[in-house]
Amino acid sequence: MRGRLSSLVKIAVSLGLMGLLIRAVGWQETWHALRQARLLPLAGAAGLYMLTLLVRAVRWRILLGAQGISASTRRLAYLYFVGSFFNMVLPSGVGGDVVKVYELSRSGAGTLPHVEARVTSSVIADRASGLVVLFIMGVAVMPWASDRLSPAVIWGLALLTAGSLAGLAVLLNRRWRVWVEERVPGLSWLVRRRGLRALYASLDAYSRPVLGRAALASLVFNGLIILVNVALGLAFRLEVPLRYYVVFVPIISFLLVLPVSINGLGVREGGYVALFGQVGVPRESALAMSLAFYAITLLAGLIGGLLYTMNNLFSLGRSKAVQQADVEVSQ
């Protein structure tokens, strides 16, 4: 009941935000901006986004290796596409991550103790490493972009970066974790629960070399995500300097993590309009750019759904063939 209510609230938030944005910007103006998009940069943005899933698969493989789990980059890339599909069809916003954990846990990795906690830990670390590196990139460029940004954007990104680094430091240091656990009411009880204890302990597996390789993969991934947005800007003929993309993309990525809407719909669009509007981008162009990005994620989800269906049909056919062969042998 609680999950259904949460989903209904998220649907209402997404629809409400989109309704307010379209009313403020104008649906005719937005539709006109979408129709003026250039196809070649759009195709380039879509291609770059598909490449980001491959890079994320490489990063996930690094983190899984630290947990003693071996998986091919091909398998993990497949799970990323499948996760995109379930993010698209499930209202929770984390449905894709749940499916990735389930699918990988029930494979060969299932023989390890606490495998679900290990895989879940790697998924969380995968997301966290990407955001932290992205925040650092944004702050590094801030001195060259602050002239046209509001104080809220400057301080917001600075606080997100400082908070994420502090949180990461606490999680990855056992002594600091214990110190915090002993002083936060209820946290010790929460950690003692069976699943959380295993998840908590799995954090010690991430050594500095592992985190360094994951950070390098995150640097490549984030660079590609920024280029996706640059390509979308070119598609809508926007003349926005690169440094502003490097500042805006981290904030938008953080907004997408907030569990308040369906797959970020509405929140992402509001972020594009508010942020890119500070550097002179018309509201209808910023909204169209955001909707184009959303369409690309839907395309990845459709590919994932097709791959998932084909894989299950193949597995079902192979299972029936094995059963038929067993029957023939018994006869």
Task: Provide the token pair at 186.
Answer: 């209820």
85-143 residue pLDDT tens: 988 877 555 667 888 888 888 765 556 777 888 888 898 889 889 999 999 999 999 88
pLDDT at position 97: 81
Q: What is the mean pLDDT of residues 289-303?
A: 94
Distance CA 241, CA 220 (A): 20
pLDDT at position 8: 80
151-170 residue pLDDT tens: 888 999 999 999 999 988 88
Regarding predicted confidence, which is higher, 185 or 137?
Answer: 137
pLDDT at position 94: 60
Q: What is the mean pLDDT of residues 277-283?
A: 93
Res 63 pLDDT > 90: yes
Look-up of token digits 């369409």:
295
Confidence of residue 209 (pLDDT cuts 50, 70, 90): very high
Distance CA 274, CA 20 (A): 13
pLDDT at position 229: 97
305: containing domain: 2-330
**Buried b vs exposed e over 86-106: b needs ≥16 C-beta within 10 Å?**
bbbebbbbbbbbbbbbebbbe
Regarding predicted confidence, which is higher, 39 or 257?
Answer: 39
Q: What is the mean pLDDT of residues 240-269?
A: 88
Domains in the chain: how many in total? 1
Distance CA 183, CA 185 (A): 6
Determine whether 215 is exposed, middle or buried from the number of CB atoms within 10 Å of its CB (0-12, 13-18, 19+): middle
pLDDT at position 187: 73
Name residues whose C-beta falls within 8 Å of residue 133's C-beta, 6 or more positions apart in sequence: 215, 218, 219, 222
Q: What is the mean pLDDT of residues 202-216?
A: 90
Distance CA 58, CA 47 (A): 17
By percentage, how much of the chain surpasses pLDDT 70?
Answer: 88
Q: What is the mean pLDDT of residues 40-49?
A: 96
Inter-CA distances, 173 with 95, 154, 177, 202, Å? 29, 29, 6, 12
Distance CA 269, CA 88 (A): 16
Considering only 85-89, 140-144, 297-301, 303-307, which range has the smallest mean pLDDT? Answer: 85-89
Regarding predicted confidence, which is higher, 181 or 295?
Answer: 295
pLDDT at position 228: 97
CB 21 within 8 A of CB 269: yes
Res 327 pLDDT > 50: no
